Amino acid sequence: MGGLTLFDAAVAPSDGALSVWQVTQRARQLVEAGFPRVWVRGEVTGFKAYRSGHWYFTLRDRRAQVRCVMWRSDNERVPAPLDEGLDVFAEAQPTVWEERGEFRLTVRQVIPTSVGGAWQLRLEQAKAALARDGLLDPARKRPLPRFPQRIAVVTSLDGAALRDIVAVARRRWPAIELLVVPARVQGDTAEAELCVALGIVNRLDADLVIVGRGGGSREDLWAFNSERVARAVAAVRAPTVSAVGHETDVALTDLVADVRAPTPSAAAEAAIPDRAALAALVHGLARRLAAGLTGRVELGAQRLDRTGDRLSAVLGTRVERARARVDAAEAALQALSPLRVLARGYAVARDPGGRVLRGVAQFPPGHPFRLTVADGDVPARVEDRT
Amino acid sequence: MSDPSFQEALERLEAIVRELERTDVDLDRALALFEDGVRQLQVARGLLAKGDAQVKKVLQQADGTLATDDLDV
């Protein structure tokens, strides 16, 4: 049991001592395994940007200091080099740099503590927590229903957001029910009220949920960056649209919702189908329905022409029955104007006395009759059928 | 929500039209499809013509139940 138990024999030198490389490597493994990524607050000093693009600096406070490196791939997202003395939050992986035996931080991102930096830090931490739980996974995003009937709206009762959403709903698709679940969207109680309202939404059997507010200052919008509110959005059973009125920043609820809209109006437009577009779609289907039937009936008539006497008697009655059903259907269609196209191409046959001729038996060879078409009558005579 | 929805009517109508446009459909079947299609059209048109959107607010009562109330916006 004696000797070296920490390292396997292959890497242990024969004299029983560790090489410097081995001990620093071991130290690095221990530090990285036992020390997950952390946020560190400190003052930047000794900043140097190398030609390679990597940044080297020291973070310090009154009692200690630590060397830091920030690789180019990470510092590219930082708008400017770090000023001497700048107070920052740094997200970093503690490690040991073997070549110098030096304890060091590999910095992934830095946020100045001034100008909302503390908020930014909280946001980044919340984002990381949501990501760990898989809530930011793009595969979680669900499509919105094509024709929602009941839409829940979580917003303030007296904000512009609600008026905008209602206006869009009335314009696009009136056959809709909007259930507004009120919540304050700014101030101390906003976070809790939004969470309660989002919980209520799950008891409403809604097809779709819009949560949001109109534009405002960063402070005003802050409730939508709360991790609790984001988790409440993620827990909504129906598909969600997040609309926090600001074009540039993205709120945490935007990342968690199924769809992100830049404004409440845009959210309503994304969620609610447009009546005019649907009317056109229905109109097109009505035309295809009519064309489909007339095409089929003509096909039947052609087949009838090609068939012998024996079959023609059978098919004849079937076609007549079919015609009667078409007539009945046409009557039902009078209210459906696009289907009047069906009337085109149809003719009614009458005998000289005006009686409608319905069966083959009513057309003896040589018999005269009249065809009524859309714009008038045509005299006609039955040809010799042999 | 028990009425046939617009989505149901439209999807049925789309299926009917697709089937009717095939040439191998039996004539009786074609007529039955057509008649069903007309019914679906009537449903769809009726919903398209329907009046104002309903707007209600939902409030939780002291006992935890939910109450809805018309909302003027």
The least confident of A149-163, A284-298, A324-338 is A324-338
The least confident of A174-178, B25-29, B30-34, B69-73 is B25-29
Average pLDDT over residues A140-152: 91
- Tokens 């097109």 appear where? A284
Angle (nearest 5°) at CA A51 between A47 and A57: 15
pLDDT reported for residue A338? 38
Residue scoring higher pLDDT (A139 or A299): A139
A177·B27 Cβ contact <8 A: no
With CA atoms as reference, report the closest residue to A206 among A236, A234, A172, A233. Answer: A236
Alpha carbon A124 to its chain's center: 23
Q: Looking at the DSSP assignment, which residues form a beta bridge with residue A177?
A: A150, B54
Residue A3: band (very low, low, confident or very high) from pLDDT cuts 50, 70, 90: very low
The CA distance from B26 to B20, in Å, is: 9
| pLDDT exceeds cutoff 50 at B2 | no
Average pLDDT over residues A344-354: 73
B50·A299 Cβ contact <8 A: no
Query: Is there a contact between A22 and A11 (Cβ–Cβ < 8 Å)?
Result: yes
Q: What percent of chain A has pLDDT over 90?
A: 47
Contacts of B12 in chain A (CB under 8 A): none
Q: Which contiguous run of DSSP H or E holds residue B68?
A: strand B66-70
Residue scoring higher pLDDT (A100 or B47): A100
A300·B27 Cβ contact <8 A: yes
The least confident of A181-185, A205-209, A359-363 is A359-363
- Tokens 């990285």 appear where? A32
| pLDDT exceeds cutoff 60 at A160 | yes
Residue scoring higher pLDDT (A281 or A9): A281
Q: Which contiguous run of DSSP H or E holds residue B69?
A: strand B66-70
Most confident of A10-19, A207-216, A297-306, A369-378: A207-216
Average pLDDT over residues A267-296: 85
Distance from CA of B58 to the nearest CA of A (A): 5
pLDDT reported for residue A11? 54
Residue scoring higher pLDDT (A195 or B45): A195
Kindly report the pTM of this predicted structure.
0.61
| pLDDT exceeds cutoff 70 at A328 | no
Average pLDDT, chain B: 82
Distance from CA of A386 to the nearest CA of B (A): 27
| pLDDT exceeds cutoff 80 at A385 | no
| Candidate from A157, A299, A339 with C-beta closest to B57 | A157
Average pLDDT over residues B52-70: 87
The answer to whether B56 contacts chain A (CB < 8 Å) is yes
| Candidate from B13, B20, B57 with C-beta closest to A180 | B57
Mutate to test the interface with A, among B1, B6, B20, B34 (most CBs of A within 10 A): B34
pLDDT reported for residue A304? 56
- Tokens 């129906």 appear where? A238
pLDDT in tens, A217-240: 777 888 999 999 999 999 999 999
Q: At residue B57, what is the residue type?
A: K
pLDDT reported for residue A167? 92
Nearest chain A Cα to B44, which residue?
A282
pLDDT reported for residue A273? 86
DSSP-derived pairing of the beta strands A102-112 and A87-97 = antiparallel
The CA distance from A322 to A363, in Å, is: 19
| Candidate from B5, B27, B51 with C-beta closest to A174 | B51
- This complex has an ipTM of 0.78
A285·B31 Cβ contact <8 A: no
DSSP, residue by residue, A51-105:
TTS-EEEEEE-SS-EEEEEE-HHHHTTSSSPPPTT-EEEEEEEEEEEGGGTEEEE
DSSP, residue by residue, A188-246:
TTHHHHHHHHHHHHTTTT-SEEEEEE----TTTTGGGG-HHHHHHHHT-SS-EEEEES-
The CA distance from A146 to B7, in Å, is: 7
Contacts of residue A361, defined as CB under 8 A and 6 or more positions apart, other chains included, come to none
DSSP E strand stretches across chain A: 38-49, 55-60, 65-70, 87-97, 102-112, 150-155, 177-182, 208-213, 240-244, 259-261, 348-350, 368-373, 376-381
Nearest chain A Cα to B55, which residue?
A178
Query: Three-class SS of residue A285?
Result: helix
B54·A339 Cβ contact <8 A: no
Average pLDDT, chain A: 83
Mutate to test the interface with A, among B55, B56, B65, B72 (most CBs of A within 10 A): B55
| pLDDT exceeds cutoff 80 at A293 | no
Residue A345: band (very low, low, confident or very high) from pLDDT cuts 50, 70, 90: low
| Candidate from A149, A286, A299 with C-beta closest to B23 | A299
pLDDT reported for residue A14? 67
Mutate to test the interface with B, among A162, A179, A274 (most CBs of B within 10 A): A179
Contacts of A174 in chain B (CB under 8 A): 50-53
